[in-house]
Structure 1
Amino acid sequence: MCVLFVVIGAILGGILGQLLMKVDALAGIMPYLVTTYPVFDITPVTFNLYVIQLTLGLAFAPNLMSILGIVLAIVLFRKY
C-alpha cells in the first residue's frame, strides 16, 4: 500500500508542477522545480518472439515537485 501511495504522490506532484508552470507569479521559481534529474535509465531491449515483439525499458527522472509529492505521500501514509 505504501508503494502505491509513493507512486501516486510522484505522479500527482509531477502533474501539479506542470500545471503550476502556467502561473505567472511563480514564473521565476518553477523552472527549478520542474527540471528533471535522471537517476537511472535502462535502455529499451527488444525481444522478437515472431508472434509478438516486446520492448522493455525503464527510466526514472523525477523533478523536485514529484519528490515533494513522494514526501507528502509518505507523511500521509504514516499518519493514516
Structure 2
Amino acid sequence: MRSGKSKGYGLLALFLITGAVIGGILGEFVAGSAALTGMAPYLVKNYQIIDVPPVAINLYVVKFIAGFSLQPNIMSIIGVIAAIFLFQRI
C-alpha cells in the first residue's frame, strides 16, 4: 500500500510529456519572435534521436500503420528539466 506522500511513475511521465510539449510550443513562439532572432535557430533546431519508420499491418479488414520519431529541440529539453524540478517540488 502506498503512503500519502508517494509520487507515482505515471505522474512523473505526465510531467515529463507536458514539459516537453510546452517547451516545444514555447520554442515555436521563440522562432517567430523578433527579439530573439540571433538565438532562435539554435533553440528550435530539431535533433533526431530515434526514428522508427512506419510499419503497415494489413489484416484485410483493418489496416494499422505505426511509426515513432523522437526529435527534441533545446526548448523542449529545457521544458523537461523544468518539469523534473516542478515534480520534485510537489
Do they fold alike, i.e. is TM over 0.5? yes
Once the two structures are superposed, what CA deviation does each residue of 1:49-75 show, in whole Å capped at 9, x if it has no partner?
Answer: 111110011000000000000000000
Specify the alignment match of 2:65 in structure 1. Answer: 55
Amino acid at match of 2:31: M
CA distance in 1, matches of 2:14, 2:68: 18
Gapped regions of structure 2 (runs ≥ 5)? 1-10
* Equivalent residue pairs, number: 80
CA distance in 2, matches of 1:52, 1:60: 27
Specify the alignment match of 1:23 in structure 2. Answer: 33
Gapped regions of structure 1 (runs ≥ 5)? none
Runs of 4+ in 1 over 2 A off after TM superposition: none
Q: Output the TM-score relative to the length of structure 1.
A: 0.97
Identity %: 44
Q: Output the TM-score relative to the length of structure 2.
A: 0.87
2:15 aligned to which of 5, 26, 31: 5
CA distance in 2, matches of 1:37, 1:62: 6
The structure with more radius of gyration: 2
